[in-house]
């Protein structure tokens, strides 16, 4: 008989020794610039709550109101009895917001990728995938059964070479890239990637999870940022980051969206988003369409924080977005740094293998419109103190 405790225990001990064991902290407050973390008040540098919507009164009120009229659970998958008028409204509103032909929502960005990719390509097909794409793209690609060819990170010439060498052997081809890369905060060179995909007779899909609510006019995302409307076949997105709720979406070509409703497996075999989630997402779209103020504050906070971190002497990598990696190298150093920050009242998690490559461990700071200048200054002060005490900066 397999001794489960023995093998799992050994694996867990291995993680702890390598500094790769993930200690999960518990939040005892709503999301915002400050959190109760394991019972202590701390400045929040961890969440994807870019615009502060996760506890926004308008979203909370919309969720409450919708529960009065629609209850809570959808009680079915979308294709049987789980598509309420609210879901249809969100599909329509998010398509209009993004300026695409059509959109369909999923339970999460993760399930959107698991649904979309196997619906687009199969065994006779090929996927050209950026080597740093998100885990859900990797899993969706594997599920599809297509051949997966990784191209060098954000490298259109590398993509072109891969297409030239391999495209001929396959029926359909799909190029997939993250829009904003979540661990480094860099942005895919989408116009050049689009040009190569088009030349190579490949479909183009972008996962804009960290671009929605962040990039483009009023947070309309990476396609708007580059003015590529109508050129990207499908954009996958999430409502769990800037939108402050939970849920996923596939948006773009109307025929593809129609096909996803017939063949997207999480659409067919997993229940729809709940009523309060959908209503809160609709309120988030309202807010973003009404005003660009939150997006502007996010960016001014981002520019201030990053400039100050550079002045202090930190290596913040290649980020051009609110995602601010503080590069530390060894996983154990990153863990020590994160722990010292926590002692100083700053909640910023260490990120190490397998989320980032070995030896590229870091603290990832997530800037939000919810931060005040005072908050950011306090965070900078703690980074400076911990950085000096651990010899990271002088």
Ligand X SMILES: *Cc1c(COP(=O)(O)O)cnc(C)c1O
Which residues have a catalytic role annotated? 182, 210, 241
**Residue 125 engages ligand X in binding (rule: CB under 6 A):** no
Instruction: Write each residue from 243 to 282 as x if it is in contact with ligand X (CB under 6 A), else as -, in one continuous string.
Output: -----x----------------------------------
CB neighbour burial string for 37-69, b if at least 16 within 10 angstroms, e if fewer: beeeebbbbbbbbbbbbbebeebeebbeebeee
**Residue 207 engages ligand X in binding (rule: CB under 6 A):** yes
CB of 107 to ligand X, least distance (A): 8
Q: How many chain residues touch ligand X (CB under 6 A)?
A: 14
How many of the other CB atoms lie within 10 Å of CB of 345? 15
Nearer to ligand X, 116 or 333 (CB): 116
CB of 27 to ligand X, least distance (A): 16
* Tokens 């503080």 sit on residue: 326
In sign, the C-alpha dihedral spanning 118, 120, 125, 128 is negative
Stretch that binds ligand X, among 22-30, 33-41, 151-159, 205-213 (CB under 6 A): 205-213
Q: Using the rule CB under 6 A, which residue among 178, 186, 233, 375 binds ligand X?
A: 178
**Residue 50 engages ligand X in binding (rule: CB under 6 A):** no
CB of 237 to ligand X, least distance (A): 8
**Residue 301 engages ligand X in binding (rule: CB under 6 A):** no
CA dihedral 266, 268, 274, 279 (to 10 degrees): 100
Stretch that binds ligand X, among 58-66, 107-115, 257-265, 281-289 (CB under 6 A): 107-115
Q: E strands within 136-266? A: 147-151, 173-178, 203-207, 234-238, 248-252
How far apart (Å, rounded) are the C-alpha atoms in residues 223 and 294? 20
DSSP per position, 249-304: EEEE-HHHHHHHHHH-HHHHHSBPPPHHHHHHHHHHHHHHHH-SHHHHHHHHHHHH
Q: Using the rule CB under 6 A, which residue among 45, 97, 110, 337 binds ligand X?
A: 110
**Residue 364 engages ligand X in binding (rule: CB under 6 A):** no
* Tokens 């979203």 sit on residue: 59
CB of 241 to ligand X, least distance (A): 6
Which residue has the closest beta carbon to ligand X?
109
Host H or E run for residue 347: strand 346-347
Nearer to ligand X, 113 or 253 (CB): 113
DSSP per position, 117-145: HHHH--TT-EEEEETT--HHHHHHHHHHT
Nearer to ligand X, 49 or 238 (CB): 238
**Residue 134 engages ligand X in binding (rule: CB under 6 A):** yes
Binding region for ligand X (CB under 6 A): 108-110, 113, 134, 136, 178, 182, 207, 209-210, 238, 240, 248
């Amino acid at each position: 008989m397999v001794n489960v405790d023995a093998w799992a225990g050994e694996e867990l001990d291995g993680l702890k020794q390598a500094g790769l064991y993930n200690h999960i902290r518990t939040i005892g407050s709503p999301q915002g610039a400050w959190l109760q973390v394991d019972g202590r008040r701390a400045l929040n540098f961890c969440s994807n709550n870019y615009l502060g919507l996760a506890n926004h009164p308008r979203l909370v009120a919309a969720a409450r109101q919708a529960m009065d009229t629609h209850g809570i659970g959808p009680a079915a998958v979308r294709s049987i009895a789980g598509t309420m008028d609210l879901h249809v409204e969100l599909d329509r509103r998010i398509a209009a917001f993004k300026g695409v032909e059509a959109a369909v929502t999923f339970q999460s960005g993760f399930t959107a990728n698991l649904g979309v990719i196997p619906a687009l390509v199969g065994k006779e097909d090929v996927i050209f995938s950026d080597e740093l794409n998100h885990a859900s793209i990797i899993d969706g690609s594997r599920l599809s059964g297509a051949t997966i060819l990784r191209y060098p990170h954000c490298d259109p010439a590398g993509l072109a070479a891969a297409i030239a060498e391999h495209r001929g052997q396959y029926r359909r081809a799909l190029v997939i890239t993250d829009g904003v890369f979540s661990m480094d905060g860099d942005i895919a060179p989408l116009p050049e990637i689009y040009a190569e995909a088009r030349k190579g007779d490949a479909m183009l899909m972008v996962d804009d999870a960290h671009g929605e609510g962040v990039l483009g006019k009023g947070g309309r995302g990476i396609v708007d940022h580059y003015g590529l409307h109508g050129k990207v076949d499908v954009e996958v997105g999430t409502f769990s980051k800037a939108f402050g709720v939970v849920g996923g979406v596939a948006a773009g070509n109307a025929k593809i969206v129609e096909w996803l409703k017939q063949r997207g497996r999480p659409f067919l075999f997993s229940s729809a988003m709940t009523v309060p989630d959908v209503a809160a997402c609709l309120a988030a779209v309202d807010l973003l369409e009404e005003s660009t103020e939150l997006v502007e504050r996010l960016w001014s906070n981002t520019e201030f924080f990053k400039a100050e971190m550079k002045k202090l002497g930190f290596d913040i990598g290649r980020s051009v977005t609110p995602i601010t990696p503080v590069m530390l190298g060894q996983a154990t150093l990153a863990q020590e740094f994160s722990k010292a920050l926590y002692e100083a009242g700053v909640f910023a998690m260490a990120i190490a293998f397998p989320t980032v490559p070995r030896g590229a461990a870091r603290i990832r700071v997530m800037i939000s419109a919810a931060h005040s200048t005072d908050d950011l200054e306090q965070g900078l002060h703690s980074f400076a103190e911990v950085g000096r005490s651990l010899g990271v900066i002088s």
